């Protein structure tokens, strides 16, 4: 791709260097630590599922059992490995059940030799991961065989609270040309330190992300895809206090995409920054390994900060987020960085600034799909005006070649969209994408004009910000409220009690297999 913005490659390279430095510092800060959610993820990937008689999920029961005995610093993998060696007839699931019923105390069993434990749990994990990866492979083949729309792919949110209604809404989305259906999670879920179990029919602002709900949606969309000869992707949210567990559940149920951004939970749910970033590292690693495309959440900053002023923070965050994802083992082709069309409507030449920002994101990250979000913040309930704003958003999307577009719906800002609102939104998208399909190829920008000038200004701002963050560290920047105007302190926040220091003999077979590196690194 040739640059339409005349960006300085030296500045871009310097931004990348600063981002690498920042991500490296984050890596050091969160090393030698695990979380209860990371350990539950290990348990889930080893096949632990279900609930006890009080409806507590078995991964929680198992991990709490070890944590209560002060032994989580070795990792739940260590204790499962030891229990497997103790009695080869038990599977990890049976071990969890026996722990739940009080029949088994994992920390009281005779202790095998460390190397043997590690070898045993690693081979167990290898088998389980291979099995799940087989499903990832099936997904890949299904996508190839049925075919998908060319980018920008249309990403549509549903959020009824009832999984069976979500199926209806999801099918209406598929019918109208949607490419990715994402079921928003119930707003309450982000602060639960467990994943609810079973199909759910009640929830506000979204539907609980449970494995059973995942399966119901997946089956419905697969059936539609098979009948209509076009593959429809499914997405959910690796966010809140159970980021890595949701990544594991998504892999098991064959999800294609996942929102995955700890910063969102840190800024807007007051989740402790260290907890969030440890969970994110493992969550992204799991997504990356199973071929899931992640979406980051920079768009959200523009909901709480001004879109014109905050543009450099979005670009800076994209550099950092990409580097953190690469460090977790996610390749560029699976990193959909966030961006949004959120400039207030009456701003003169607002469209040109939006165009500059969207083009800038594409040119800075040519190998990342980029997830582009519609106007929401300034949508005032006048649904005709919103529909008009969405048309321009759609035009910028197609002309700048974004990878994934979250569609706008006319009733944005009024209520959770009704079933037909999404269809009306999609019709707008389809019309604009078709009518302006190759517009981007025909366009060059006036040298030194408004668009080029704006893009350079934003990049310069992002560069300054990245250098500043690299000097003080990401955690200090969070403390200052650099992102979204929301300050967060490293020693505060929800979920902080779930961080556990790892011991030298810490064993995490999932991380070791996925990263080919010892888990304490």
Query: Distance (Å, rounded) from C-alpha 41 to C-alpha 279?
Result: 10
Is position 347 an interface residue for another protein (rule: CB under 8 A)? no
User: Known catalytic residues?
Assistant: 264, 299, 371
Task: Kindly give the pairing relationship between strand 404-406 and strand 153-158.
Answer: parallel
Work out how close the CB of 304 gets to another protein at its nearest, in angstroms, rounded to a whole number.
6
Q: Are 507 and 278 in contact (CB under 8 A)?
A: no
Q: Which two tokens stand for residue 236?
A: 């959910």
Indicate which single residue of 168, 326, 388, 490 sits in contact with another protein (rule: CB under 8 A): 168
Classify 101 as helix, strand or coil.
Answer: coil
Whichever of 73 and 417 has its CB closer to another protein, that residue is 417
Rg (CA), the chain: 23
Per CB under 8 A, 483 contacts another protein: no
Query: Among 104, 252, 302, 423, which residue sits at the site for another protein (rule: CB under 8 A)?
Result: 423
First to last CA, the chain: 37
Q: Does 418 bind another protein (CB under 8 A)?
A: yes
Q: Which among 22, 29, 36, 31 is positioned nearest to 496, based on CA atoms?
A: 36
381 belongs to the binding site for another protein (CB under 8 A): yes
Question: Binding mask 200-229 vs another protein (x if CB under 8 A, - otherwise)?
Answer: ----xx------------------------
* Rounded Cα distance, 275 and 38, in Å: 10
CB distance 260 to 283 below 8 Å: yes
Question: Strand (E) positions, 159-227?
Answer: 180-183
Work out whether 144 is an interface residue with another protein (CB under 8 A). no
* φ, ψ at 157 (rounded to 5°): -95, 140
Decide: is 416 part of the binding site for another protein (CB under 8 A). Answer: yes
**What secondary structure letter does DSSP report for 242?**
G
Least Cβ distance, residue 167 to another protein (angstroms) = 10
Count of residues in contact with another protein, rule CB under 8 A = 35
Name which position in 155, 268, 319, 355 contacts another protein (CB under 8 A): 268
Among 126, 131, 223, 380, binds another protein (CB under 8 A): 380
Among 420, 449, 487, 517, binds another protein (CB under 8 A): 420
Choose which of 29, 222, 467, 485 interacts with another protein (CB under 8 A): 485
For residue 188, the minimal CB distance to another protein (Å) is: 4
- Residue range at the interface with another protein (CB under 8 A); choices 6-14, 59-67, 170-178, 470-478: 170-178
- Longest Cα separation, the chain: 75
Instruction: Specify whether the CB–CB gap between 22 and 264 falls below 8 A.
Output: no
Q: Which stretch binds another protein (CB under 8 A): 21-29, 188-196, 248-256, 288-296?
A: 188-196
Total count of residues recorded for the chain: 521
Q: Between the CA of residue 443 and those of 417, 436, 452, 516, what are the distances in Å?
A: 34, 11, 13, 45
Are 369 and 180 in contact by the 8 Å Cβ rule? The answer is no
Beta carbon of residue 179, minimum distance to another protein (angstroms, whole number): 16
Q: Name the one range near another protein by CB under 8 A: 73-81, 142-150, 167-175, 429-437.
A: 167-175
Min dist CB 161 to another protein, Å, is 6
Which of 51, 112, 146, 191 is in the footprint of another protein by CB under 8 A?
Answer: 191
Q: Where are the alpha helices (DSSP H) in 253-310?
A: 262-268, 273-289, 301-304
Closest contact distance (angstroms) between CB of 413 and another protein is: 6
Q: Which helix (H) or strand (E) holds 471?
A: helix 450-472
Q: Pick the stretch among 156-164, 313-321, 393-401, 433-441 that binds another protein (CB under 8 A).
A: 156-164
Residue choice 306, 327, 332, 457 for contact with another protein (CB under 8 A): 306
Whether residue 285 contacts residue 514, with contact meaning beta carbons closer than 8 Å, is answered with: yes
Chain positions contacting another protein, by CB under 8 A: 159-161, 168, 171-172, 174-176, 186-188, 190-191, 204-205, 268-270, 303-304, 306, 344, 377, 380-381, 413-416, 418-420, 423, 485
């Amino acid at each position: 791709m040739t640059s339409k913005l005349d960006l300085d490659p030296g500045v871009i390279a310097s931004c990348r260097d600063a981002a690498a430095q920042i991500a490296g510092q984050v890596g050091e800060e969160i090393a030698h630590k695990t979380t209860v959610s990371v350990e539950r993820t290990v348990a889930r990937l080893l096949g632990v599922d279900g609930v006890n008689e009080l409806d507590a999920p078995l991964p929680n029961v198992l991990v709490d059992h070890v944590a209560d005995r002060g032994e989580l610093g070795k990792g739940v993998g260590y204790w499962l490995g030891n229990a497997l060696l103790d009695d080869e007839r038990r599977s990890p699931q049976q071990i969890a059940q026996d722990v739940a019923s009080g029949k088994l105390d994992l920390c009281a069993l005779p202790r095998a030799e460390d190397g043997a434990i590690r070898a045993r749990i690693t081979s167990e994990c290898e088998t389980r991961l291979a099995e799940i990866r087989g499903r990832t492979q099936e997904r890949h083949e299904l996508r190839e065989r049925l075919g998908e729309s060319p980018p920008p792919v249309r990403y549509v949110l549903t959020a009824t609270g009832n999984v069976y209604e979500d199926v209806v809404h999801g099918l209406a989305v598929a019918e109208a040309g949607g490419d990715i259906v994402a079921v928003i999670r119930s707003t309450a879920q982000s602060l639960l330190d467990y994943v609810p179990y079973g199909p759910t029919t009640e929830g506000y602002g979204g539907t609980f992300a449970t494995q059973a709900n995942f399966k119901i949606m997946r089956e419905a969309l697969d059936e539609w895809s098979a009948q209509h000869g076009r593959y429809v992707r499914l997405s959910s949210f690796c966010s809140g206090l159970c980021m890595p567990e949701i990544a594991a559940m998504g892999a098991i149920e064959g999800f294609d995409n996942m929102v995955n951004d700890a910063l969102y939970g840190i800024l807007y749910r007051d989740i402790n920054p260290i907890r969030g970033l440890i969970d994110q590292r493992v969550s992204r690693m799991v997504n990356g390994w199973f071929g899931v495309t992640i979406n980051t959440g920079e768009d959200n900053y523009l909901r709480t900060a001004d879109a014109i002023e905050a543009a450099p923070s979005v670009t800076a965050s994209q550099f950092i987020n990409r580097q953190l994802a690469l460090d977790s083992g996610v390749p560029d082709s699976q990193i959909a960085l966030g961006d949004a069309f959120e400039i207030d409507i009456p701003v003169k030449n607002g469209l040109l600034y939006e165009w500059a920002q969207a083009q800038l994101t594409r040119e800075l990250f040519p190998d990342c799909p980029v997830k582009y979000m519609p106007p929401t913040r300034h949508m005032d309930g006048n649904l005709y005006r919103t529909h008009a704003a969405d048309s321009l958003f759609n035009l910028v999307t197609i002309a700048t070649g974004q990878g994934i577009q979250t569609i706008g719906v006319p009733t944005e800002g009024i209520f959770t969209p009704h079933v037909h609102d999404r269809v009306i939104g999609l019709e707008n998208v389809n019309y604009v994408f078709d009518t302006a399909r190759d517009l981007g190829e025909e366009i060059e920008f006036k040298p030194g004009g408004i668009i080029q000038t704006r893009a350079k200004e934003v990049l310069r701002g992002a560069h300054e910000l990245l250098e500043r963050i690299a000097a003080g560290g990401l955690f200090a920047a969070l403390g200052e409220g650099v992102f979204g105007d929301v300050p967060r302190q490293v020693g505060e926040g929800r979920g902080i009690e779930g961080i556990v220091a790892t011991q030298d003999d810490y064993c995490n077979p999932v991380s070791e297999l996925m990263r080919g590196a010892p888990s304490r690194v």
